[in-house]
Amino acid sequence: MNTESAPSPLMPVQRRQHIIDFLQRHGAVTINQLEQALGVSLSTLRRDLDTLAGEGVVDRTHGGAVLRQHVASYGTFEPETAAAAELSPREKAAIGQWAAQQLLPLQSVIFDSGTTVLEAARAAVKRGIPLTAVTNDLAIAQVLGQSPQIQVHVLGGTLRPNSPTVIGQALVHQASAFQADLLLMGAHAVTQDLVSETSAEVAAAKQALMRAAHRRVLLVDSSKFRPRAFMQFAQLQEIHHLITDTALPAAEEERLRALPLQLDLVSP
């Protein structure tokens, strides 16, 4: 007979401390992300966030919260790569798999930096199709390099602190020599028609990669539809294809459907 007992549920004060710890690593999260990370019901999390907001610890946002000390600097707050990978993992994997299924053999593809694009790289390797790949992300380069079918070009430049992302003027110059079929790109925030990042250097790198591709595909989970970050790098009218998940708010979907871009919603 199994005598092991189920884990005891956390007391409210313990649960709220877990929420604060999670927010300290990420700065801003949605309630669905907290549900995945903590295994707590949405109704309970809403009560916890309301309590923390009443105590002045967090500020509520549409569908989530930000830590009070990050409100003024939210536009420049960027979680480390390991922490970012904790956010919406099922959604990112589904988006990446869908994006990889759209790739054609022998295409030239730029893989922008980011955890969702990393999922697309993993899915592309599993497909086993021949590609010519360009990337400014060392983690993505390592994943793509596992396939003998994919020829990988890594852009040089300056390595961003606490990140596998390469940025800088050298990257911008090298990217100008490429004209790829496709760019798979990420973003920190999508706000109305603006796409933004947390730093000018990252924004400049993304703009260079956009200029180097014939077709641009934006991979963002639904939590990225939020207040804009520090530096705008594109408008949605410059994007040809947007892939996100089915948790996208209905109002956002309606607005995106009216734009001249292809919109795909995928289920985690």
Domains in the chain: ranges and CATH: 12-72 (1.10.10.10), 84-266 (3.40.50.1360)
Which residue, 42, 69, 43, is CA-closest to 57? 69
Whether the Cβ atoms of residue 9 and residue 65 lie closer than 8 Å to each other: no
Report, as an integer, the average pLDDT of 173-183: 96
What is the pTM assigned to this prediction? 0.74
CA distances from 97 to 69, 233, 241, 244, 266 (A): 36, 25, 15, 11, 10
Give the integer Cα–Cα distance in Å for 23 and 130: 40
Q: With H, G, I as helix, E, B as strand and everything else as coil, classify residue 47.
A: helix
pLDDT, position 119: 97
Q: With H, G, I as helix, E, B as strand and everything else as coil, classify residue 3.
A: coil
Report, as an integer, the average pLDDT of 192-218: 95
- For tokens 């509520």, what's the residue? 60
Report, as an integer, the average pLDDT of 169-188: 96
Q: What is the pLDDT of residues 54-71, one digit of tens each?
A: 877 787 877 788 777 544
Q: How remote is the C-alpha of 143 from its chain's centroid? A: 17
Which residue, 165, 218, 143, 207, is CA-closest to 133? 143
Is residue 1 pLDDT above 50, yes or no? no
Quick one: what percent of the chain has pLDDT higher than 90? 58
Quick one: what percent of the chain has pLDDT higher than 70? 89
Report angle CA 110, 210, 226 to the nearest 5 degrees: 100
